Amino acid sequence: MPPLSKDTIVAVIGAGAMGAGIAQVAASYGHQVKLFDKAEGAASRAIDSIGAGLGKLVSRGKLDNSEAEAILSRLQPIEELSQLADAGLVVEAIIENLDIKRSLFAELEQLCAADTLLTSNTSSLSITSIAAGMQHPERFAGLHFFNPAPIMKLVEVISGLDTDRNVAETLYASASAWGKKPVHARSTPGFIVNRLARPFYAEGLRLLEEGAADTATIDALLRDAGGFRMGPFELMDLIGHDVNYAVTCSVFDAYYGDQRFLPSLTQKALVDGGRLGRKSGRGFYDYRADAAQPQPQSLSIAGSTLAELPTLIVEGDLGVAAPLLTRLQQTGIHIVRRQGLANQQGRLLLGDAVLALTDGRMASERAVTEATANLVLFDLALDYQQASRLAIAIADQADRRVLQPVTELFALAGITLSQLDDAPGLAVMRTVAMLANEAADAVMQQVCSAADADIAMQFGVNYPCGPLAWAEAVGTQRIYQVLTHMQQAYGEDRYRPSRQLKRMAVTGGHFHVNAA
């Protein structure tokens, strides 16, 4: 389907941050935009604010003054809803209240032409529920932008039960023409992003609550090893705990208490205590003036024990961790390769220490199963050639003295180690596994395609890699194994592997994700 022509008038209802941002996006493409808000003068003030923002872009040389003036000339404040009758597309961006939205769209159906596309920017309400009672629900869909709309690329095009496919395709094509990265989604709780992102926060919170590591260390690991722009705690502080916790509760309730979406009592305590993050001055971190900022915990080298560069013995195939071996080899250490035992995962031998990539089991458990007392597990990294920090865990029965040469080995390669308590799956691996698991379930349940799941997480929340593409890079068998072991370790349904993920792991199939 072709996009809406530039001659199409776009109406935006709600002149808050989201509504104003959407209006700016449409006007930047070339649409005449009518901005309405029931609060007197709100639409005019929003347009003035847009003008100020465009002025800053002009002053920084990122926008021509003539183009800024053209964009502003296409924005018109409207004082009466009846003045939107000639719009070909209406985007609602008002309060998240189902009854208020239903009432608005009932009025818009009477006011607008029969071929006007009616959409909601809702982030949490069911598109099917909003459309209930409409005379023509087939022309209604969700058009979910992310804040700030002029900057964030993702737009979720959400179809309710009655949404006409041509309507969804027209909205998709239009969002693409506006310079966005649209994805199709079926109207289910959380749509794509707000559902698939839950494990990113939940696994960090669980590690904290179990005493595996502190917030600064977990955040550093997700950034420095995982490649995420922010760790879970600093991101929750940025979003606001009232908002983040409410979304988690909403998704948990909508999925009838599925343990995979279980809210955190730790986060609830912050909300109850008014520690909402950056906007209140305190959250997991203290943002008040002169507050000391916690630093991640790192293993230190207390005098080198290496008289010369060590010999590293490699047994078997390291799989996704093979680039780590290349990086260690570049330090000049001597590498000796041996064939591993049948059905044994690749591992590194450094003196008395045995190092292996986590498979979701606790180091202490795996040490017993594999009869390897001095076992040290290391975490997943997005790019072992670039990672500056890795998590490790040591088996309870291991001789703690093996940590010193292990720390020195990684230090030679420029990698700082953070020791976690013996938690299943460490930090990055368990987070990636759970993100991929949730994405696989969403694909299986026909919420979205595999490609759209990955695009949504990369462009909606800036993930360094789509969760399904990441799972395939790690190996779906490894991800499935990690989840199976974590489910056994915790004895909880929360870590149940998706049937879709199991199919990929068993058959060696692919999710058919596309490069974003």
Which residues are catalytic, by number? Answer: 123, 144, 156, 194
Inter-residue contact 428 to 467 (CB < 8 Å): no
Beta strands in 62-176 (DSSP E): 75-78, 89-92, 117-120, 140-145, 154-159
d(CA 336, CA 351): 13
Inter-residue contact 184 to 415 (CB < 8 Å): no
Inter-residue contact 260 to 416 (CB < 8 Å): no
From the number of C-beta atoms within 10 Å of its C-beta (0-12, 13-18, 19+), residue 507 rates as exposed
- Using alpha carbons, select from 32, 2, 8 the residue that is nearest to residue 89: 8
Q: What is the DSSP letter of 16?
A: S
Per-residue tokens: 335: 């590498």
Inter-residue contact 199 to 138 (CB < 8 Å): no
- Using alpha carbons, select from 348, 273, 359 the residue that is nearest to residue 311: 348
Beta strands in 190-275 (DSSP E): none
- Using alpha carbons, select from 234, 187, 184 the residue that is nearest to residue 453: 184
Q: List phi, psi (to 5°) of 508.
A: 75, 20
d(CA 214, CA 385): 26
Strand partners, 33: 10, 75
d(CA 292, CA 277): 15
Contacts of 293 (CB under 8 A, 6+ apart): 216, 285, 286
Strand order in the sheet with 375-378: 334-338, 311-315, 347-350, 353-357, 375-378, 389-394, 416-419
Count of all residues that appear for the chain in the document: 516
Q: Cα dihedral angle (394, 399, 405, 406), rounded to 10 degrees?
A: -10
Residue 456, classed as helix, strand or coil, is helix
Q: Specify whether the backbone of 420 is left (phi greater than 0), alpha (psi in -120 to 50) or beta.
A: beta
Residue 451 Cα distances to 62, 154, 180, 447, angstroms:
32, 13, 16, 12
